[in-house]
Amino acid sequence: DVKVTQSSRYLVKRTGEKVFLECVQDMDHENMFWYRQDPGLGLRLIYFSYDVKMKEKGDIPEGYSVSREKKERFSLILESASTNQTSMYLCASSRHRGGSYNEQFFGPGTRLTVL
């Protein structure tokens, strides 16, 4: 059974803390993505990566960075957490092939609260 796992389901952090969200996939997928999900706004892409050590900014990269040192692992970093980063964070992966093969496989999500 294919799987995308995220390091935490729930996380509570203080303003100004450095926060690491980890995502691991076991499908040998080239592409990996980080989204945040907020009520009424759907999914917004933060960063994505199409290869090891490669990263591309999504629609809302401000305040975030990412790391992809290994193919199976994609980390999202909040350098200095702020209350407006309280959200649900979803990781996803997909194969490198184009078109309809790019269905995404999602992890269960991390609900982050910044106090």
Binding residues for other proteins (CB under 8 A) = 4, 31, 33, 40-43, 45, 48, 50, 56, 58, 90, 92, 94, 98-100, 102-109
Name residue 16's beta-bridge partners.
Answer: none
Q: How far is the CB of 16 from other proteins (least distance, A)?
A: 28
Question: With respect to other proteins, which residue has the nearer C-beta, 25 or 75?
Answer: 25
DSSP symbols for 47-76: EEESSTT--EE-S--TTEEEEEEETTEEEE
Name residue 56's beta-bridge partners.
Answer: 48
Minimal CA–CA distance to 32: which of 58, 9, 12, 60? 58
SS3 content of the chain, % helix, strand, coil (to 5): 5, 50, 40
Question: With respect to other proteins, which residue has the nearer C-beta, 23 or 114?
Answer: 23
Q: How far is the CB of 66 from other proteins (least distance, A)?
A: 15
Q: How many CB atoms lie within 10 A of CB 55?
A: 18
Question: With respect to other proteins, which residue has the nearer C-beta, 107 or 114?
Answer: 107
Q: How far is the CB of 30 from other proteins (least distance, A)?
A: 9
Question: With respect to other proteins, which residue has the nearer C-beta, 14 or 89?
Answer: 89
Q: How far is the CB of 9 from other proteins (least distance, A)?
A: 8
